[in-house]
Amino acid sequence: MLRAARHALAPPRWRASRRASPLTVARPQPAASAPMPSRPVLAVEGLSLAFGGTVAFDAIDLSVRAREIHAVIGPNGAGKSSLINTISGLYAPRAGRIGIGGHSFTRVPTGRLAALGVARTFQNLALFKGLSVLDNVLSGLAEARRAGLAAQLLGLPAARREARAHRAQALSVIALLELDAHRDRLVGSLPYGLQKRVELARALVARPQLLLLDEPMAGMSATEKAEMSGFILAARRSIGTAIVLIEHDIGVVMRLSDRVTVLDHGRRIATGTPAEVQANPAVIAAYLGLDEDEAADVTVGEAA
Ligand SMILES: Nc1ncnc2c1ncn2[C@@H]1O[C@H](COP(=O)(O)OP(=O)(O)OP(=O)(O)O)[C@@H](O)[C@H]1O
């Protein structure tokens, strides 16, 4: 029986023909035409994590360049979320190092993430539902606030200047993500797709060098996914942010990403361009539950 059944990654049409690669997705436009600088903003080396006896991932290398959109994909339980959670300091790895912007850590200090230029979103929404869109976006600048509480309460000039600058920054990202019309609405009153967009706005407001997106399109309709993909590209274009993207929709991944890393059972089995990865027998095998010889026999469609 195909193991694909356990993979939420494979849309039904991929399973229809055993001879069609689940990764065969036309790529309408290259995601990035500009040459990329070589220095990575994220350099993960030999990273391993276990929960007691359960290995979440092992000996993972991952390098993300400035302005790159780098997807991390893999079947359920492959270790994707655990990897992002470790990169953002929520979990302590048992081995390996994480380099961020010239600093190297065995465990990333979560309290310094914003200062390191890293922002993230979560698989499940983590917004202040009783606050407006604007206030939620402003909360993404809480760690950037320099004026002390007393200065803010007393309305001292430095605190007022900072508040004005932060508001302008928040309004600019709200405009970028086309949330202007909803600016003063309570987040809890918005449809789910818009709440995910607010979460993206909050992550972007501090203009991070590196953005970690854990399933930003989960639960979205095809139209909402297309919109969100456009906003992710706009963020990269306008802010220059490098993005690590965990996403189950392979079509989205293939269209958006510059490079893709594939995990399976906690191991990295491939890294390459979308075209390289979708032609890789080990990747096809992981998705279809075939051995590599069988996978080599699977028809792989051409990437544009
Ligand atoms: N907090 C935890 N405690 C114990 N085991 C965990 C924990 N989080 C993850 N795991 C285990 O680590 C492995 C990797 O899980 P992880 O959630 O990172 O995979 P994933 O690729 O993100 O899966 P999915 O696509 O379903 O979200 C799995 O075996 C999972 O059961």
Atom of ligand 1 nearest to the CA of 123: 27
- Which has the minimum average pLDDT: 21-30, 59-68, 70-79, 247-256? 21-30
| 4 secondary structure, DSSP code | G
Q: Is the pLDDT of residue 28 over 90?
A: no
pTM: 0.82
Ligand 1 centroid to Cα of residue 101, in Å, is 27
SS3 content of the chain, % helix, strand, coil (to 5): 40, 20, 40
Q: pLDDT tens, 66-101?
A: 999 999 999 989 999 999 999 999 999 999 999 998
Determine how β-strand 54-65 pairs with β-strand 40-51. Answer: antiparallel
Tokens of 267: 């191991």
Percent of the chain with pLDDT over 70: 76
Confidence (pLDDT) at 1: 34
Tokens 């060098």 belong to 209
Confidence (pLDDT) at 123: 74
Confidence (pLDDT) at 8: 33
Report how far residue 189's alpha carbon sits from residue 109's, in angstroms, rounded to the nearest whole number.
34
Tokens of 304: 């544009």
Calculate the alpha carbon distances from 189 to 151, 161, 178 in Å: 33, 31, 17
Ligand 1 centroid to Cα of residue 102, in Å, is 29
At 257, is the pLDDT very low, low, confident or very high (cuts 50, 70, 90)?
very high
The residues, ordered by sequence, that sit 6+ positions from 12 with a Cβ below 8 Å of its Cβ are none
CA-wise closest residue to 269 among 248, 302, 277: 277
Confidence (pLDDT) at 286: 83
Confidence (pLDDT) at 295: 57
| 148 secondary structure, DSSP code | -
CA-wise closest residue to 62 among 268, 283, 303: 268
Q: pLDDT tens, 161-197?
A: 878 889 999 999 999 999 999 999 999 999 999 999 9
Atom of ligand 1 nearest to the CA of 85: 18
Q: Best of 60, 80, 83 to mutate for ligand 1, by most ligand atoms within 8 A of CB?
A: 80
Atom of ligand 1 nearest to the CA of 263: 21
Report how far residue 299's alpha carbon sits from residue 21's, in angstroms, rounded to the nearest whole number.
6
Confidence (pLDDT) at 289: 63
Q: What is the mean pLDDT of the chain?
A: 83
42-74 as b/e: b if 16+ CB within 10 A: bbbeebbbbeeeebbbbebebbbbbbbbbbbbb
Ligand 1 centroid to Cα of residue 80, in Å, is 8
Report how far residue 139's alpha carbon sits from residue 210's, in angstroms, rounded to the nearest whole number.
18
Q: pLDDT tens, 215-225?
A: 999 889 999 99
Ligand 1 centroid to Cα of residue 230, in Å, is 29
Segment 291-301 shows an average pLDDT of 57
Ligand 1 centroid to Cα of residue 215, in Å, is 14
Residue type at 246? I
The residues, ordered by sequence, that sit 6+ positions from 220 with a Cβ below 8 Å of its Cβ are 192, 193, 196, 228
Ligand 1 centroid to Cα of residue 189, in Å, is 31
Determine how β-strand 210-214 pairs with β-strand 242-246. Answer: parallel
Return the top range by mean pLDDT from 10-24, 113-127, 146-160, 238-252: 238-252
| 297 secondary structure, DSSP code | T
The SS3 of residue 41 is strand
Confidence (pLDDT) at 284: 87
For ligand 1, residues with CB inside 6 Å are 51, 54, 56, 74, 76-82
Domains belonging to the chain, first-starting first, are 1-11+37-117+208-304 (3.40.50.300), 129-195 (no CATH)
Bigger pLDDT: 55 or 142? 55
Confidence (pLDDT) at 287: 77
Q: pLDDT tens, 258-282?
A: 999 999 999 999 999 999 998 999 8
Atom of ligand 1 nearest to the CA of 49: 12
Long-range contacts of 18-21 (CB under 8 A, 24+ apart): 18/288, 18/298, 19/297, 19/298, 19/299, 20/298, 20/299, 20/301, 21/278, 21/279, 21/284, 21/287, 21/288, 21/298, 21/299, 21/300, 21/301
